[in-house]
Amino acid sequence: EILEESGLIADRPVLRGTISWPGFGKNGEDWFGFIFRIESWHGEVHAGNHEGTLEWISLDTFDTLPMWPSDRNFLPMVFDADARLFHGCMPFHNGQMQSWSYTRV
């Protein structure tokens, strides 16, 4: 997925956590995701793709970017210094986040 959308090869992916998204799918399907931070990579960045143009941003400004409002709940844990994994649950109903809970282990 990373290579396809960016042109980059992840040399050192670090698992930061998992999230269960009950009801998130287009028809209410449950989704489950593994969240990684890529600490080193190589390759040539694509000029763009159907997902958008890859852009490097400063961590202190990422919260100003347009994104799913629910992403703001877990993105800080992807980049924080806490080495523990997070495991979250974010139920959706009719395209809207209903709640957010997580543990760190």
> 47 or 65: whose pLDDT is higher?
65
C-beta separation of 70 from 54 below 8 A: no
**Which residues touch 12 (CB under 8 Å, ≥6 apart)?**
38, 39, 40, 41
Domain assignment of residue 16, given as a range: 2-104
C-beta separation of 32 from 21 below 8 A: yes
DSSP state of 61: G
pLDDT of residue 68: 87
How much is the pTM?
Answer: 0.86
> 78 or 60: whose pLDDT is higher?
78
CATH of the domain at 30: 3.90.79.10
* Number of domains composing the chain: 1
pLDDT of residue 28: 95
pLDDT of residue 8: 93
